[in-house]
Chain A
């Protein structure tokens, strides 16, 4: 049964023409402040001055299934796991991904005040800073991720992560519980 499934997966991959990127065929480096890529596909070397990294499963698999696209939004290849690269390259990729996906992690909610469809939040984030932000349509803009995590999107489009709602302190939990 497993064999049949594996075969099916391989056939699908071939049909979808997915190029798997790893240390043998792809070299990443920083150029002009952006990530550039030299990749060998079917023995042919291609150079991209700037590539974009996209997490396929941004909430569950942070360092796996990273799509690499070129300037025309065409997919150059897929990184199955960052660990498929040398530690230096993996570090470079992680930095690039981290600066694309910016979402401070909320560790404590100091206050939430609701006024006329807007809610005003005062929170502490994991690097110790206190942040204030405003949300509109709060119910809709708290995106539940799985059973226990959530993303809060403010009026500007900034995102704030709560890794575990249940692990928040009692007061913080009570403040957000209203919207869950």
Chain B
């Protein structure tokens, strides 16, 4: 009998087995979806075991084994999900009276699956069962776990895999970090190999010197018959010692050269890997991390790895080889007992370390966190310095910074104090063996078993053997810092790219035809932002997107730019799904002007030329004139060479906006996207830019979002979004005639304008 091996952590029956127990007639094929939930609908503190079975006819809800609700699917207009705080409410809307009824409440552990299922059921309700059949066919190709919508768990430990992780972080060993690092080291393996050989040579040379020393002492300095000594051989010995020292230094220099080259190249590779990865991550993932945290990864963590590779690791290798070599010398000279005596204190010290290690490790982590916090406070204050000054809050912000810096200082003092208090004692105990050696060798000399030269030789070896041991005692701190930084760097490098180029992604020459085919989309947090958007835009059209705030206008633009991937449906440009077009090809032919503009540190000229570095001066001036920024730029003392950005000349919001528009115009995109691009400009300047844009948009597809509806007066078609759906499409005149949502918005704005005019 074959038994399936049960995964650790996956106790008890599966969701289907539980459902089968409640409904014995249930067949896997008839199940459309199975949901688990864990909270009592009215007593949240009470954990329950809830199951929802959705088949082609009914949604049946069970609470602790009891059926509590059963509703025919055909009566349902939609499944709704509402986020609480740490909870999700799932309800259904009845077709008959649009009333909404609670289905169940769950914690966030079950939320993602519930949201995905709700979306699927809603699409089935909207498109019919054919949609489900298609979906099933697609899902049949993926794993069973995904088919059932269950959360993926690690095969080894049974813990749920965090979203975006293909490997279980819990089961990844430290060895794996080293292996990952080897991937970076591999291209430089020959440098590393040569370094290793040179390390061995250095160790050997280190051992030769005490040997020569012994000969000089025994055969010349303490010789019983000095008259028989050979002066030439003595000079040769001295020369040999000198040569050994020179060779030692020369090999050391060669080794350092090999290492410096390899480690610096490795670090640059790693930094580039990290930087490229951050660039590839979607807006959603990047926006979850602060600029400070990302900078810290690229700058500080990489510096820690660099320092380890260039300083700590070479010493570690050198000292390890030396330690082994000296050990061999002791054993070869029949001094195993002495070696043992020398090493007696080591286990005790190492044992002490295991206690010390935990404490200091925690403190280092805290110091790292406190450092990050101080940096972020500083960044925060400097970014908002205008607000701080305008409210006269300098004193409070100084206090905030001082408090954070003081916390960092206290933690640093605590960790340094502990380190520098414990370490000298540790090192003392480690060197305790030297006293033992003195006793042992002294006895041997007195007994005639050893010479003074032997004592000199072994004293040097003994002090050399403690060198590596002292080094090893410092090692944990560096290794911890190194592993922490390496993990943090690989955390980003390993992050799954959610919007990535397909293997066979192609570059296309965009003409400007955009087909948005039944697109639905919702952010991670839940409810759909866009539902079943079906819109077809011809090349050269100027589309105005209109609607209330939060209705999904910017989301739709983000989807067209493929900042996110659609959940359902597709977006095609010139008949090609944008998921099959390389992102660089797609975005290089799109121009975007956002309400919030960003100018890089550099001159105005460089900022305008950003998207087309080979632009001529004539082109720059022409687009600046079109964007209405030429006139103010030439009035600046440094003209187009004026520095802008963080440390440069401060420009007004409108001026920055116009530079951004010039930048987009110079880019000459096939698809131009304007997201509230002219909102911060006065009406006259806006009109001037609108005319320029109209002139330029003759051959390009333009999509513009604007709350000020007059901005869209040149639009060939207006698309009104409402509650995530396309509510109205038409020209201004058509929509005004229709007297729908657009009409309402225009009237409200006219009313506002009248009031403003009256006020003036």
Residues on A lying within 8 angstroms of B by beta carbon are 32-34, 49-50, 52, 58, 95, 98-103, 113, 115-118, 120, 127, 129, 132, 134, 136-137, 139-140, 154-159, 174, 177-180
Cβ of B251 under 8 Å from chain A: no
Enumerate 14 A-B pairs (CB-CB under 8 Å) in ascending A order.
A99-B39, A100-B87, A101-B84, A113-B170, A116-B172, A116-B494, A117-B488, A117-B491, A129-B47, A137-B288, A156-B112, A158-B108, A158-B109, A177-B366
Q: Which 7 A-B pairs have the closest CB atoms?
A: A33-B102, A117-B491, A100-B84, A157-B108, A99-B44, A116-B169, A159-B86
Instruction: Give the complex CA separation of A91 and B437 in angstroms.
Output: 80
Assess the B293–A159 pair: CB atoms within 8 A: no
Q: What distance in Å separates the Cβ of A180 from its nearest Cβ neighbour in chain B?
A: 8
Residues on B lying within 8 angstroms of A by beta carbon are 39, 41-45, 47, 82, 84-87, 91, 99-102, 105, 107-109, 111-112, 159-160, 162-163, 165, 169-172, 177, 288-290, 293, 362, 365-366, 369, 372, 487-488, 490-491, 494, 525
Instruction: Give the complex CA separation of A139 and B491 in angstroms.
Output: 14
Assess the A134–B162 pair: CB atoms within 8 A: yes
Provided the pairs A33-B41, A102-B39, A117-B488 are in contact, do residues A137 and B289 lie with their beta carbons within 8 angstroms?
Answer: yes
User: What residues on B are CB-neighbors of A132 within 8 Å?
Assistant: 159
User: What residues on A are CB-neighbors of B165 within 8 Å?
Assistant: 118
Q: Which of A58, A115, A116 has the most CB of B within 10 A?
A: A116
User: What residues on B are CB-neighbors of A139 within 8 Å?
Assistant: 369, 372
Instruction: Give the complex CA separation of A160 and B152 in angstroms.
Output: 23
A103, A115, A156, A174: which contacts B170 (Cβ < 8 A)?
A115
DSSP majority for the B interface?
A: mixed
Assess the A99–B41 pair: CB atoms within 8 A: yes
User: What residues on A are CB-neighbors of B372 within 8 Å?
Assistant: 139
Instruction: Give the complex CA separation of A64 and B84 in angstroms.
Output: 18
A50, A120, A137, A159: which contacts B85 (Cβ < 8 A)?
A159
Q: What distance in Å separates the Cβ of A58 from its nearest Cβ neighbour in chain B?
A: 7
Assess the B172–A49 pair: CB atoms within 8 A: no
Assess the A127–B289 pair: CB atoms within 8 A: no
Assess the B86–A33 pair: CB atoms within 8 A: no
Q: Which of B43, B85, B525 has the most CB of A within 10 A?
A: B85
Which chain B residue shows the least CB distance to A115?
B169
Instruction: Give the complex CA separation of A98 and B39 in angstroms.
Output: 11
Which chain A residue shows the least CB distance to B723?
A72
User: What residues on A are CB-neighbors of B163 within 8 Å?
Assistant: 155
Instruction: Give the complex CA separation of A47 and B483 in angstroms.
Output: 61
Provided the pairs A33-B91, A139-B369, A158-B107 are in contact, do residues A49 and B99 lie with their beta carbons within 8 angstroms?
Answer: yes
User: What residues on B are CB-neighbors of A137 within 8 Å?
Assistant: 288-289
Which chain A residue shows the least CB distance to B92?
A32
User: What residues on A are CB-neighbors of B494 within 8 Å?
Assistant: 116
Which chain A residue shows the least CB distance to B41?
A33
Q: What distance in Å separates the Cβ of A152 from its nearest Cβ neighbour in chain B?
A: 11
Assess the B87–A102 pair: CB atoms within 8 A: yes
Assess the B111–A49 pair: CB atoms within 8 A: no
User: What residues on A are CB-neighbors of B41 within 8 Å?
Assistant: 33, 99
Assess the A117–B487 pair: CB atoms within 8 A: yes
Assess the B169–A127 pair: CB atoms within 8 A: no
Which chain A residue shows the least CB distance to B99?
A32
Instruction: Give the complex CA separation of A134 and B171 in angstroms.
Output: 13
Assess the A32–B105 pair: CB atoms within 8 A: no
Q: What distance in Å separates the Cβ of B348 from its nearest Cβ neighbour in chain A?
A: 25
Which chain A residue shows the least CB distance to B373?
A139
Instruction: Give the complex CA separation of A118 and B169 in angstroms.
Output: 7
Q: Which of B44, B105, B107, B362 has the most CB of A within 10 A?
A: B44
Q: What distance in Å separates the Cβ of A122 from its nearest Cβ neighbour in chain B?
A: 11
Instruction: Give the complex CA separation of A34 and B90 in angstroms.
Output: 11
User: What residues on B are CB-neighbors of A120 within 8 Å?
Assistant: 159, 170
Assess the A118–B102 pair: CB atoms within 8 A: no
Q: What distance in Å separates the Cβ of B141 from its nearest Cβ neighbour in chain A?
A: 27
Which chain B residue shows the least CB distance to A52?
B82
Which chain A residue shows the least CB distance to B173?
A115
Q: What distance in Å separates the Cβ of B418 from its nearest Cβ neighbour in chain A?
A: 14
Q: What distance in Å separates the Cβ of A127 from its nearest Cβ neighbour in chain B?
A: 6
Q: What distance in Å separates the Cβ of B399 from its nearest Cβ neighbour in chain A?
A: 15
Q: What distance in Å separates the Cβ of B287 from its nearest Cβ neighbour in chain A?
A: 13
Assess the B108–A174 pair: CB atoms within 8 A: no
Instruction: Give the complex CA separation of A10 and B112 in angstroms.
Output: 44
Given contacts A120-B170, A156-B107, 12 further A-B contacts (CB under 8 A): A34-B91, A99-B43, A99-B87, A101-B87, A102-B84, A102-B85, A120-B159, A134-B159, A134-B162, A159-B86, A177-B366, A180-B366
Which chain A residue shows the least CB distance to B370?
A180
Which chain A residue shows the least CB distance to B365?
A178
Instruction: Give the complex CA separation of A140 and B296 in angstroms.
Output: 14
Assess the A118–B366 pair: CB atoms within 8 A: no
Q: What distance in Å separates the Cβ of A45 from its nearest Cβ neighbour in chain B?
A: 19
User: What residues on A are CB-neighbors of B488 within 8 Å?
Assistant: 117
Instruction: Give the complex CA separation of A116 and B486 in angstroms.
Output: 9
